[in-house]
Amino acid sequence: MSDLGIDTELLDDRLPELKVVERILELKGKRHALVLAHNYQSPEIQFVADYIGDTLSLSMVARDAEQPIIVFCGPDFMVETAKILAPDKTVIYANAWARCPLATMITPEDLRMLKQAHPNASVVGYVNTSPECKCEMDICCASANAVRITQSLEAGEIILVPDANLASYVSRLVPDKTIISWHGFCAVHHMIRKTDVLDLIHDHPRATVIVHPECRPEVVDLAAMVLSTDGMMMHAAASQDREFIVATELEVVNRMIEYNPDKEFYGIEKAYCRTQKRVKLENVLQALETLEPAVNLQPEVLEGARRPIERMLEVGRAESLTGDER
């Protein structure tokens, strides 16, 4: 213990990490680089980031950034979406091995086959897909705008891929359209079971249940609000309620606890995204030092994928924070 009561052994343990943080902050300035981080990233990654958000807000920040270099701490599809929207910038994967399993669950061939089977359908594709798949879509959607985007289309038949739970949620709120879904899922949200939430409701009967739309339909049934991760954060801050059960990745719950010390939040312990947690401070430092690995897409893929993403951004954030969506 030091005179000030600080556990010096603990400080020694964190010293190498502090040095990496220092170096990252220094290099960020030198390189005139922007560091973006998704809401599921570890606290130390969020600490060095210039902006933290959900998929939709991160893509907008990347598009509008002044900096010529973006280091993106998130899964592959988010990094690639940033490059598609900002083709003149150098966009670097903080860790190119952070590959979203959901984004691999549908291929361009699968999507072409679906389109052939439903020639009158419009194609809405979740941003959690490859750039090549995006080339086959009419419009992309994120969790924050999937309902509004589907509603905005004229077609009576909508192909909404690849997340079956998201498609099921959208079909509840857009009952006048036929939704053709695919069998993809987000492992983190899909592993949250009805009993996990019911147990928390039993222990905290006054808590408001907020759920991500990638959750199973029977979990969505228990929700007072269904929101994107940024939507959840905003709702937690604005709501008069004092207690919340939160069905999404645990880091979102940790951030809610940090920002709302006067409220109580109960998360699902196993909802931990190993893919996103692959991004470490050392990766961010290396990305800033080497400016590699940068996203490198064929010009026709960049061009083809931009159109559905830009159409999505025209709609923007469209979730209701007032409780009318379920």
Using the rule CB under 6 A, is 229 a contact of ligand 13P? yes
Which residues have CB under 8 Å from 267's CB, separation 6+? 246, 248, 250, 252, 253, 254
Among the listed residues 81, 95, 129, 143, the single contact to ligand 13P using CB under 6 A? 143
Using the rule CB under 6 A, is 228 a contact of ligand 13P? yes
Among the listed residues 39, 122, 145, 150, the single contact to ligand 13P using CB under 6 A? 39
Distance (Å, whole) CA 165 – CA 19: 43
DSSP assignment of 6-34 equals: --HHHHHHHHHHHHHHHHHHHHHHHHTEE
Give min distance, CB of 54 to ligand 13P, in A.
3
- By C-beta, is 24 or 162 nearer to ligand 13P? 162
Cα of 48 vs its chain's centroid, Å: 18
Nearest to 69 by CA among 84, 83, 54, 89: 89
DSSP assignment of 49-94 equals: -SEEE-HHHHHHHHHH---SEEEEES-HHHHHHHHHH-TTSEEEES
Using the rule CB under 6 A, is 208 a contact of ligand 13P? no
Q: Which two tokens stand for residue 174?
A: 């857009």
Among the listed residues 28, 65, 75, 302, the single contact to ligand 13P using CB under 6 A? 75
- By C-beta, is 100 or 225 nearer to ligand 13P? 100
Give min distance, CB of 177 to ligand 13P, in A.
22
Using the rule CB under 6 A, is 128 a contact of ligand 13P? yes
Among the listed residues 71, 91, 100, 284, the single contact to ligand 13P using CB under 6 A? 100
DSSP assignment of 186-242 equals: -HHHHT--HHHHHHHHHH-TTPEEEE-TTS-HHHHTT-SEE--HHHHHHHHHH-S-S
What are the strands of the beta sheet with 243-247, ordered from one edge? 225-226, 208-211, 243-247, 264-267
Give min distance, CB of 72 to ligand 13P, in A.
13
Distance (Å, whole) CA 220 – CA 107: 27
Give min distance, CB of 92 to ligand 13P, in A.
19
Select the span of 54-62, 87-95, 146-154, 298-306 touching ligand 13P (CB under 6 A).
Answer: 54-62
Q: Which two tokens stand for residue 144?
A: 């924050």
- By C-beta, is 34 or 56 nearer to ligand 13P? 56
Q: If residue 125 lies in a helix (H) or strand (E), which one and from where to where?
A: strand 122-126
What track of x and - describes contact with ligand 13P for positions 240 through 279 (by CB under 6 A)? ----------------------------------------
Select the span of 13-21, 48-56, 200-208, 218-226 touching ligand 13P (CB under 6 A).
Answer: 48-56
Using the rule CB under 6 A, is 165 a contact of ligand 13P? no
Using the rule CB under 6 A, is 131 a contact of ligand 13P? no
Q: Do 130 and 103 meet the contact criterion of CB atoms below 8 Å apart?
A: yes
Binding residue count for ligand 13P, defined by CB under 6 A: 11
List interacting residues with ligand 13P (CB under 6 A): 39, 54-56, 75, 100, 128, 142-143, 228-229
